[in-house]
């Protein structure tokens, strides 16, 4: 693996990720055999249960010992294992370019780690970035496909759309994704969610309506959570380009913290009410801690 690849995922972390799985709270019929227990009854070696014989059933699965005792036909059923689809959607709008490291770079690392977990688990992984439009890879399966994810994310830059804030198009992008994607599964949205409340609500509701199992990872930079600003400043909106002169006072900073807290609380409450797993992360948080501890606490991973 090249030095560039290591910026997104370290070999030591990859070894730890191989022991994890992405949790699905819904049962989705998969397209190929994988490692997950299916809602269907198949022909694997693991016995599941008995059921009454129905005309047309395969005689090979009749339990003749029970028939000899009870004079009634029972069919043995077995657990079938299959994959699910893991949809990872990463926000690349202008606001994600803020911070050191930027929220986008941190988001890429999360997306890479989750993608690798899905690939190792023989799930079908779909990696997509969005801003004013959607761009993504075809469904992938198998751990060797991680190099496609690395190449795709390494070459992905922040959106340059400035005429209209790309973040305001979150709802249209995710709606389009939900409608056009034929494969339902776990949808993990990685974004700062710095958009009007109705925008993210409409986006997430569409995914829910289309029967995705939705998870939200909100990324904020440490500079946004605990800004160290003071004095006379010129601040530029990263998406609209608008510049404003402001005087930073203690009162202004207190108001900012209050609004930020309310904004994050509204997003979390919306997610809770709609059975969406919500996690807020700071870019200052070590990636290993986020993946191996926080996402497991939230039962996004097991």
- Judge whether residue 137 has pLDDT over 60: yes
**What's the mean pLDDT when you consider all of the chain?**
85
In the predicted structure, residue 2 carries a pLDDT above the cut 50: no
Integer-rounded Cα Rg, in Å, for the chain is: 23
| pLDDT at site 20 | 94
For residue 132, what pLDDT is reported?
A: 87
Q: How many CB atoms lie within 10 A of CB 275?
A: 10
Q: What is the pLDDT of residue 245?
A: 72
Q: Give the residue among 145, 146, 125, 127 at the shortest CA–CA distance from 137.
A: 127
What is the structure's pLDDT at 5?
41
Count of CB atoms within 10 A of residue 148's CB?
A: 16
d(C-alpha 193, C-alpha 291), whole Å:
20
Q: Categorize the per-residue pLDDT at 3 as very low, low, confident or very high, splitting at 50, 70 and 90.
A: very low
Q: How confident is the model at residue 36 (pLDDT cuts 50, 70, 90)?
A: low
Residue pair 124/85 in contact (Cβ under 8 Å)? The answer is: yes
Instruction: Name the residue among 254, 131, 144 with its Cα closest to residue 192.
Output: 131
Task: State pTM to two decimals.
Answer: 0.80
Measured CA to CA, the distance from residue 141 to residue 58 in angstroms comes to 31
**Angstrom distance (rounded) from CA 16 to CA 291:** 10
Domain with CATH 3.40.50.410 in the chain: 3-27+83-297
Q: Is the pLDDT assigned to residue 50 strictly greater than 90?
A: no
Q: Is 50 exceeded by the pLDDT of residue 41?
A: no
Q: Indicate the CATH number for domain 3-27+83-297.
A: 3.40.50.410
238-249: string of b/e by CB count within 10 Å (b at 16+)? Answer: bbeeeeeeeebe
Query: ∠ CA(159), CA(163), CA(167), 5° rounding?
Result: 50
pLDDT band at 26 (very low <50, low <70, confident <90, very high): confident
pLDDT in tens, 171-187: 999 999 999 999 999 99
Neighbours of 96 (CB within 10 A): 30
What are the pLDDT digits (tens) for 77-92?
Answer: 654 455 689 999 999 9
**Over the range 172-182, which residues count as b (16 or more CB within 10 Å of their CB) and which as e?**
bbbbebbeebe
pLDDT given for residue 198 in this prediction: 95
What confidence score (pLDDT) does residue 45 get? 47
Note the residue count of the chain.
Answer: 302
Spatial CB neighbours of 162, under 8 Å, sequence gap ≥ 6: 94, 239, 240, 241
Give 62-82 as a 3 state SS string: ECHHHHHHHCCCEEEEEEEEE
User: 101 preceded by cis ω (within 30°)?
Assistant: yes
């Amino acid at each position: 693996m090249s030095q560039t690849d290591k910026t997104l995922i370290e070999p030591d972390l990859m070894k730890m990720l191989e022991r994890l799985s992405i949790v699905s709270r819904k049962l989705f019929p998969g397209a190929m055999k994988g490692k997950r227990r299916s809602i269907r009854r198949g022909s694997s070696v693991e016995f599941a249960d008995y059921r009454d014989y129905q005309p047309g059933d395969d005689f090979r699965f009749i339990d003749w010992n029970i028939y000899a005792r009870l004079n009634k036909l029972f069919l043995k059923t077995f657990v079938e294992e299959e994959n699910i689809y893991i949809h990872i959607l990463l926000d690349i709008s202008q606001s994600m370019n803020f911070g050191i490291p930027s929220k986008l770079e941190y988001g890429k690392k999360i997306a890479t780690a989750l993608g690798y977990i899905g690939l190792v688990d023989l799930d079908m992984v779909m990696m997509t970035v969005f801003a004013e439009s959607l761009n993504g890879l075809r469904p992938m399966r198998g751990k060797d496909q991680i190099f496609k994810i690395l190449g795709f994310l390494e070459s992905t830059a922040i959106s340059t759309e400035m005429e209209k804030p790309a973040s305001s198009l979150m709802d249209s992008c995710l709606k389009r994704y939900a409608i056009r994607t034929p494969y339902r599964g776990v949808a993990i949205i990685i974004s700062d969610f710095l958009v009007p409340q109705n925008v993210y609500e409409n986006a997430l509701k569409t995914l829910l309506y289309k029967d995705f199992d939705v998870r939200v990872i909100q990324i904020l930079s440490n500079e946004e959570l605990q800004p160290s600003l003071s004095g006379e400043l010129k601040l530029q909106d990263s998406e609209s380009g608008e510049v404003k002169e402001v005087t930073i006072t203690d009162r202004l900073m207190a108001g900012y913290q209050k609004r930020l807290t309310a904004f994050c609380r509204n997003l979390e409450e919306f997610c809770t009410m709609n059975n969406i797993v919500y996690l807020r992360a700071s870019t200052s948080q070590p990636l290993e801690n986020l993946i191996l501890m926080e996402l497991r606490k939230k039962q996004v991973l097991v």
